[in-house]
Amino acid sequence: VGLVGFGAVTSPSGALQMLKDIPVDVLAKYDFSAIPLFILMGVFATHSGMATKLFDSTRTIFGGVRGSLGIAGIGSSGIFASISGSSLATASTMARVALPQMEKHGYQPGFACGVLAAGGTLGIMIPPSIALLVYAILTQQSVGDMFIAGFLPGLLGIVMYSITVMIMVRWKPHLAPRGERTPWKAKIVSLTGLIPFSFIFIVIIAGIFLGLFTPTEGAA
């Protein structure tokens, strides 16, 4: 589409020249190599069982609250996004992990899918967001500054999505049952499931922001 549009606005020969140069330049650009590396990190987190443990931890923390699995899905999506950087990877991973559990516990299928789809969109804001990375590269801005700028909106998104889930399940109780109550000791112990993600997130974001390494090195 871009090739045809450029050819219509300028000239066909100019469009062919662009086709010859730009794909090679983009593929050879060192900064863009961080994108597949961040996605690969999310793949490792999925296949290592970290994503499943993350959801189990957040589910235990919010146990006893109506719609707790939905809130856990939102929270898990936000935390998973903090190492994958991809909305698509976040949504697909958490759907595989959380959706079967939500349907098993009586969640209305459309509501469960909507919650996880909304949670997946957090990947575009929460650092290391691939969208923010690409924007920073194209506009010659600081990647570290862009990542820090996305942290608060991403956190606010988690809170507001969770509040929305709580409102919906109280307004329409048939959407989701009340979660199983969990003792405080179990909630505290379950926090260990968040440690790997927190460690990776802090190392990457702090390292990039403080200039200890580049985004590509951080992703690697």
DSSP 18-30: HHHHHHHHHHT-G
Secondary structure tally for the chain: helices H, strands E: 12, 0
Domain boundaries, the chain: 31-219
The pLDDT tens digits of the residues spanning 70-82 come to 888 898 888 888 8
User: CB burial class (10 A; 0-12, 13-18, 19+) of residue 108?
Assistant: middle
Catalogue the E-assigned strands of the chain: none
Q: % helix / strand / coil in the chain, to the nearest 5?
A: 80, 0, 20
pTM over 0.85: no
Provide the residue type at 46 as one letter: T
The pLDDT tens digits of the residues spanning 12-64 come to 888 888 888 888 877 777 778 888 888 888 888 888 888 888 888 888 888 77
Q: What tokens appear for 25 in the block?
A: 């330049």
Query: Percentage of the chain with pLDDT > 70?
Result: 100
User: CB burial class (10 A; 0-12, 13-18, 19+) of residue 109?
Assistant: exposed
The pLDDT tens digits of the residues spanning 101-117 come to 888 888 899 999 999 99
The pLDDT tens digits of the residues spanning 176-185 come to 887 778 888 8
